[in-house]
Amino acid sequence: MKDPIARERRFRRLVQRRGYALKKNRIRDPQHPGHRGYMIVDKESDHRVMGHMPFPFSMNLDQVEGWLSRHEKAH
C-alpha cells in the first residue's frame, strides 16, 4: 500500500481498535521538526504513548506501522 492517505486512514483505524488515537501534527511550517509527524495518544487519559520524544509528533507512518506490529504481538 503506497498511498500515504490510505495508509494513514488504515493505521488510524487500527490504533483506535487498540484504545488509542493517532494524532497528526497540524503545523504547516516545513521547518518545524514535527512537520507531517504523528503521535499515538491514549484515548481515555490523553497520555502520550509514542511519538512525543525527542519532540512532539516525531513518528512517521513507517514507525506507526512498527508500533502497531509490536503492540499486536504484546496483546
Task: Give the whole-angstrom CA distance, residue 28 versus residue 43.
Answer: 25
Question: What pLDDT does 65 receive?
Answer: 96
Query: How would residue 58 be classed by pLDDT, with cut points 50, 70 and 90?
Result: very high
Task: Give the whole-angstrom CA distance, residue 15 versus residue 72.
Answer: 10
30 DSSP assignment: T
Query: Is it the case that residue 73 has pLDDT exceeding 80?
Result: no
Distances (CA, A) of 26 to 23, 29, 34, 41: 9, 9, 9, 15
Question: What pLDDT does 36 receive?
Answer: 85
Query: How would residue 72 be classed by pLDDT, with cut points 50, 70 and 90?
Result: confident
Question: What pLDDT does 22 receive?
Answer: 97
The neighbour count for residue 51, using CB atoms within 10 Å, is 23
Instruction: Tell me the residue type at 28.
Output: R
pLDDT tens per residue, range 14-57? 999 999 999 999 888 888 777 889 999 999 999 999 999 998 99
